[in-house]
Structure 1
C-alpha cells in the first residue's frame, strides 16, 4: 500500500516499529503536496522543505513523544501555530506571524506532530465555502471546478487528496461537517467544552464554535480527539471527558436512529440529497440498527432566528474593533460586515430571548433522546457548487435570504453544542460525495464514534472511492 494511503494510526505503528522513518514520510508528503496542491490549493503557508526534512530526521533520532510522533499535520488558518502566519483569510492579517501555539496546537506538538503549514479557510471562517483574498479558493478534489466546503475546506480537501492523514478543524456552523461530507472523509464536532479554545477575551458568553478532528477513518478521528481534549483551568466551561479510542474496540448495541428528514419541509434539498440519505439509512438498517423517520421536533423558524442572533452577537464581539476602523472595515468581506452590524444593533433582551429559545430546544431534544439514541440529518442541503460562486442563492427553487441560509441543516446540533460525527454517505449520480450527520446527546462522543466505526467497517468510503487521479 502507498505510504500516504495508510491511516494515521497505521503510520504511527509503522514509525514506532521502525518499518518507515519520519524522513521517508515527510518526503512522501512533500512530494504529494507538490503534485496535487497546485490544483487543489488546500495547503497554504507551507514551510521550507529542507527545514521540514531536517525536523523529520530529528524526530527519527528522538524518543517518541506520543502517537503523532513524526506525522505531518497542517493547522487550520484560524488557529495560531508558532512561527507561521495566521491570516484568517483576511488581508488585515496577511503575513502576521504567530508568536506562540494555541492550546490545541500545543497538544498536537506534545504528541509528536510535525507542523508543516496551514490549511485554507474562508475569511474569518465565515461561510461554508473556502475562498479568500489572501490564498484564493480551495477546489474539491473530486471535481476541481466545485467548492470544497468550509470553513475547514482546506483540511478536508487535503485529507481527500492524501496530502494529510489527519487534520484539525473548527465548527460554528457546520465547518467540520459540511466539508467532510463534500470530500468523502470524516469530521467531528465534539461536545462543547471537550476541546477548549485559547482563553482569550470572553470565556463565558460566546459558546457556539468548537475545534475538532478530521480524518479518513473513525479510529483516527477518535485518537486525534483524545489528543485535543482536556479541561483548561482558564476556561470554566471546559471538561475532561473519557477517552474515546478504547471504546471503538467494544461492540456497539443496535442503535435507535431517528431520521429528521427535511424537518417537516423547512429544509429544501437539492435533487439527490434525500435519496443519498435514504440509501445510507437503509444500509444502517441492514447493519442491525432501528431506523425511524420522526417529525420535526421544534419550530425551525424560531431556531433559525435564535441562531442568527447569537451568531451575529458572537461575530460582532470578536471583530467589532476592526469594523470601528474605517480603513480596516473597507477590507472586510460583506458577510463579515453584515454579521458585525447586526450584532452591534442588538439589544440585551434580543440576545436573552435567543438564548431562551435555544434553552427550549435543548429541553425538547433531551425529551427526544428518550426515544432515540442518535439523530440523523444530511451534512449539507446541496451538492458542492461552482467554486467561483460566493454562495448559493437558491436551493430546489427556494431563495436563500442570507449568505448562510443554505447551511440551515447544521444548526440544530450547533445551536446547543451537541456532538456530531459526519460519516461519508456515498456519491450521487453526479459523481459528487455527500455525508450524514450523526447527532448525539451531550457527552455521547464515544458512542457516536462507535456507530461511525460500525459504518466504516461496512463501507470504508474514503478507500472504496478515493480522490480521482
Structure 2
C-alpha cells in the first residue's frame, strides 16, 4: 500500500502527530496525479505545484489546524473555490474564477484541508456521465474507454486511483451513488438538510439535491461528514448533527434488511447486475442480517412522474437566470429549463402529494425493516463516447436520465443512502448497492456499511491502479 492509497484516517493521524509532513504528502499527491490523471482526466484546474508545496510547508511550520490538517482535496467543479476556476463544466462559466468559497469548500478549508483544484463533472451536473465541453470526459479507471458515471465522476475516479483520500460530491439523482458503484468506492447521500446547501437563492422549497462525502471506506466518509455537516444560520431547514467519527461498525446480528431488487421488474437491469448484488446481500446474511425480498411498495411510474416534475421545477429554477443564453446550454439542460418554465403551481403541488404518499408508504416499510437495499445502477459502465443509454435489456429509455430511475425512491424523499461496492462483473467492471434508511438514521446506515466494509474491503482488495 502506498502513501496515497492509505485511509484518510491513517494519513490524518500521522499528519496530526507530525509523523508525516504536509509537504511530503503533497509531493506524493502531485506525483500520483501526474502519473494517473493524464489518462483519466479526473482532476481539472490543478493549482500550481510550487504554490501547493508552499502552502503545505506553511502547514508544517504552524500549529495543527483542524481535523483535515494538511490533507489535499480536489473540490467538485459545481462548487465555487476562491482563486480556482469554477466552470461547472459550462462554456458560459469557462473563465469564472470566484473570489470566495462556497460553504462546503469554506468548511473543508477551515478544517485544515489544502484545496488543490477541481474534480470533473458533467455540465451543470446534469446526467450520470462525466463529460463537458470545457474539460472533456473522465474515463473509468477499470476501463478508461468507459464512463466513470457522474455527476461526481471526477471525485470517484480520484479516490479510486489514490489521487485524493477524501472527496466531496453532490447527489440529486444518484450523482454520489452511481460513480461510487462504477469506481469501487463509497459515497454517502446524507439525510436532506444535514449538510446545508449554499445559502443563495431559494432556501425553502427545493428538497431534492444534497452535498455529501465520498471515500474508500465508511469510516473515512464519517470523518468528512463531521466537517461538512451541521446547521448554517442562513439556511432555513437546519438539521443538527451529532459527530459520527470515529465510526464503529454495527453489530449486524438480527438486523432486518429488505431487498427491493428491480422493483418487481419496473427497473430494467442489464444482465449480471442482480446476480452480483445477490452476492453482496449474501455477505450481509453471513454477518447475521435477515435479508428478505420486498414486493414493490409503490407504483414506480407514479413516483417517476412526480420526480420528473419536481426535478424540472428545481433544475429549471436554477437555470432560469441563463434563459437568455439557452442556445449555449447542452440539450438536457435546455429540456429541463423548458419543462420547468412550463409548469404550473398545481403541477408541482400534485407531484408533492405523490412524494408525501410515498413517504408514508416508506415509513410503514421502515416499521418492518432496519434498512432497505436497491442496486446503485441499472447498467454497467458504458462507452465513454456515448451520451447516455437509450435502452436497457430491450426497453427504450424515454429521457436522458430514465436509465437511473433506480435512485429515485431515495432521492424523492431525501433519505440517507450509502453506496457500497458490490464487487465486479464478468467484464471486470464494478457495481454497487444503495443501503438506505429513514430520515435521520445516517449514523446507523454508516455503521451498517462499516460492518459490511470490514467483511469485504473491495476498494482495498481490488484497487484501481492504472499507470502504476
TM-score range, shorter chain: over 0.9
Match of 1:377 in 2: 374
Question: What is the CA-CA distance between 1:65 and the residue it aligns to?
Answer: 1.3
Name the SS of the counterpart of 2:454 in structure 1.
helix
Is 1:95 aligned to residue 92 of structure 2? no
Aligned runs of 1:334-353 on 2, under 5 Å?
Answer: 334-353=331-350
Look up the match of 2:313: 313
> Could you tell me how far 1:468 is from its partner in structure 2?
4.0
Question: CA separation in 2, counterparts of 1:247 and 1:52?
Answer: 31
| Aligned residues: CA RMSD | 1.0
1:418 aligns with 2:415: yes
- Write out aligned runs for 1:196-215 (5 A): 196-215=196-215
Asked if the contact 1:86/1:94 (under 8 Å) is kept, the reply is yes
Which piece of structure 1 moves more, 168-177 or 281-290?
281-290
Q: Deviations over 1:4-63 (max 9, x none)?
A: 121111001111222211000000000110111010100001000000000000011111
Task: Output the CA distance in 2 between the equivalents of 1:261 and 1:254.
Answer: 21
Question: Deviation of residue 76 (structure 1)?
Answer: 0.2
> How far apart are the structure 1 equivalents of 2:21 and 2:446?
30
What SS does structure 2 have at the residue aligned with 1:51?
Answer: helix
Distance 1:382 1:238 in 2: 36
Q: Is the 8 A contact 1:269 1:396 kept in 2?
A: yes
SS at structure 1 position matched to 2:275:
helix
Q: Does 1:85 align with 2:85?
A: yes
Mapping 1:203-352, distance limit 5 Å: 203-248=203-248, 251=251, 253-323=253-323, 325=324, 328-352=325-349
1:392 to 365, 386, 389: 389
Shift of 1:442: 0.5
In the TM superposition, what is the alpha-carbon distance from 1:250 to its structure 2 partner?
A: 6.1
Is residue 70–residue 114 contact of structure 1 (8 Å, CA) maintained in 2?
A: yes
Number of matched pairs: 466
User: Cα deviation per residue 1:334-360 (whole Å; 9 max; x = unaligned)?
Assistant: 000000100111111110000000000
Output the TM-score relative to the length of structure 1: 0.98
Unaligned runs of 5+ in 1: none
- Which residue in 2 is equivalent to 1:15? 15
Q: Do residues 44 (structure 1) and 44 (structure 2) align?
A: yes
Alignment partner, residue 442 of structure 2: 445
Which position in structure 1 is the counterpart of 2:106?
106
- 1:78-99 CA-to-partner distances (Å, cap 9, x unmatched) read 0111111110000000020111
CA distance in 1, matches of 2:103, 2:89: 21
Q: Describe the superposition over 1:132-187 as per-residue Cα deviations: whole angstroms up to 9, x where unpaired.
A: 00000000000000000000000000001110100000000000100000000000
* Distance in 2, Cα, partners of 1:443 & 1:437: 16
Which segments of structure 1 move beyond 4 Å, counting only runs of 4 or more? Answer: 249-253
Matched position secondary structure for 1:462:
helix
Shift of 1:104: 1.1
**Does the 8 Å CA contact 2:419/2:435 hold for their aligned counterparts?**
yes
In structure 2, distance between residues paired with 1:305 and 1:79: 29
Q: 1:246 to 1:32 in 2, by over 3 A?
A: closer
